[in-house]
């Protein structure tokens, strides 16, 4: 087959990967010279632990397996099975972690409840006072988001069945299984897959005017090298508030006993912290749902995140080298992993994984390939 993939973010790139792996020819088209959206503006987390039971967890676990297999062929992904620690500092938070570790599917998620000494043994960088323990998720992992898509494209190019066309925007679907770009060139294949991320206007709106997907904005930052290893990804207990796996009586009690600080509640914040290959830390994040979004970033959320990170590390953060905002696409029915729709004969739109894109994209693309009979 000849497959046309539009969009070079992580979802589109993994669709190209599965097509090439199954023996097909791929033309991969991206409106930028390379991906610049949410796929490079994230933590690089393969985040299994907090996913909702059922389809979402199954997708995340399958994606985790696929990421590890792909990394054997593409070491440039920077894949590492480093796991994560969600750190707790009071009894209400500890109760939520204890409930999560007692879930029937806790073993599948890789959950183990650790005491403070065990948590510090696993991650000696956690020197903050008042740590009562941590929820360890062995299944979590990380890749390098700024370089992963590039590494995948290099591996795809070596197949001899992959062509990447950057700096071209798709303007029109032409008949069946063909698209026209803004250079006037028509690209025809046996299937066209549009993986347009948060670009939901223009052609996407014409093809799917009732698309059940919204845009979400976030703020993040990256520091200079920490000067030591952060062996695991780290989350604070506010993360319990934003992932479906932790819902229940213990979380309700936490919310009643200790509401989030006003700045965290206003910006729907949690601390996630991952060390990059250069030793720096990616730290975030916030969530904003009401468009139109601001064009600038706000300093108060960064200050809050820095305070929380420093309280867990027990030391000042290195200087912040980068701050940025990003926008991703999320299904309005947040229980859905992704929106997959045939918008014309032979033309499919795949979008809306929300904050699960980096985690779930290999399995999302595999499911598309299976459904289309590649």
Per-domain residue ranges of the chain: 2-43+146-212+335-372, 84-138+213-331
The region that residue 352 occupies, defined by phi over 0 for left and psi between -120 and 50 for alpha, beta otherwise, is left
Average pLDDT, the chain: 97
Task: For residues 299-308, give the mean pLDDT.
Answer: 98
pTM of structure: 0.96
- Which residues does residue 223 pair with via DSSP β-bridges, in sequence order? 320
Give which of 40, 31, 252 is closest to 148, Cα–Cα.
40
Residue 83 pLDDT grade (very low, low, confident, very high; cuts 50, 70, 90): very high
Residue 277 pLDDT exceeds 90 = yes
Tell me the average pLDDT across 34-63. Answer: 95
Position 314 scores a pLDDT of 98
Half-sphere exposure (CA, 13 Å, Cβ side) for 178? 9
Assess contact for 351 and 213: CB atoms under 8 A: yes
Provide the CATH number for the domain formed by 2-43+146-212+335-372 in this structure. Answer: 3.50.50.60
Give me the pLDDT at residue 260, please.
Answer: 96
Q: DSSP for 137-165, please give it.
A: ETT-EE--HHHHHHHHHHHHHTTTSEEEE
Structure confidence by residue, pLDDT tens digits, 146-184: 999 999 999 999 999 999 999 999 999 998 899 999 999
Stretch 21-33: mean pLDDT: 97
Residue 301 has pLDDT above 90, yes or no: yes
Q: Percent of the chain having pLDDT more than 70?
A: 100
CATH superfamily entry for domain 84-138+213-331 = D-Amino Acid Oxidase, subunit A, domain 2 (3.30.9.10)
pLDDT of amino acid 176: 87
193 has pLDDT over 90: yes
pLDDT at site 80: 97
pLDDT in tens, 194-241: 999 999 999 999 999 999 999 999 999 999 999 999 999 999 999 999
**pLDDT tens digits along 259-268:** 999 999 999 9
Q: Give the mean model confidence (pLDDT) for residues 346-374.
A: 96
What is the average per-residue pLDDT within 47-53?
A: 95
């Amino acid at each position: 087959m000849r497959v046309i993939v539009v969009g070079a973010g992580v979802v589109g790139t993994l669709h190209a990967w599965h097509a090439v792996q199954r023996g097909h020819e791929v033309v991969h088209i991206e409106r930028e010279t390379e991906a610049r959206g949410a796929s490079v503006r994230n933590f690089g987390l393969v985040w299994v632990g907090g996913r909702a039971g059922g389809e979402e967890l199954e997708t995340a676990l399958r994606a985790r397996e696929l990421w590890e297999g792909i990394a054997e062929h593409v070491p440039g992904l920077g894949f590492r099975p480093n796991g994560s620690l969600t750190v707790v500092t009071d009894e209400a938070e500890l109760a939520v972690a204890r409930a999560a570790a007692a879930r029937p599917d806790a073993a599948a998620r890789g959950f183990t409840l650790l005491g403070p000494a065990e948590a510090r043994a696993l991650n000696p960088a956690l020197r903050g006072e008042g740590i009562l323990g941590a929820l360890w998720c062995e299944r979590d992992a990380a890749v390098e988001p700024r370089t992963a898509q590039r590494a995948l494209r290099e591996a795809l190019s070596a197949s001899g069945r992959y062509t990447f066309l950057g700096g071209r925007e798709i303007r029109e679907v032409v008949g069946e299984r063909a698209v026209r770009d803004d250079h006037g060139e028509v690209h025809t294949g046996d299937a066209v897959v549009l993986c347009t991320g948060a670009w939901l206007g223009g052609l996407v709106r014409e093809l799917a005017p009732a698309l059940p997907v919204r845009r979400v904005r976030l703020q993040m930052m990256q520091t200079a090298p920490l000067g030591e290893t952060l062996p695991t990804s780290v989350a604070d207990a506010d993360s319990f508030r934003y992932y479906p796996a932790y819902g229940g009586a213990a979380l309700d009690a936490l919310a009643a006993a200790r509401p989030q600080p006003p700045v965290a509640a206003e910006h729907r914040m949690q601390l996630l912290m991952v060390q990059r290959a250069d030793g720096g830390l990616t730290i975030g994040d916030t969530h904003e749902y009401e468009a139109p979004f601001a064009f600038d970033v706000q300093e108060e959320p960064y200050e809050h995140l820095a305070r929380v990170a420093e309280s867990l590390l027990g030391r000042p953060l290195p200087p912040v080298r980068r701050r940025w905002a990003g926008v991703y696409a999320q299904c309005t029915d947040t229980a859905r992993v992704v929106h997959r729709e045939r918008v014309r004969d032979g033309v499919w739109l795949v979008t809306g994984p929300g904050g699960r894109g980096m985690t779930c994209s290999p399995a999302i693309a595999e499911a598309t390939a299976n459904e289309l009979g590649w």
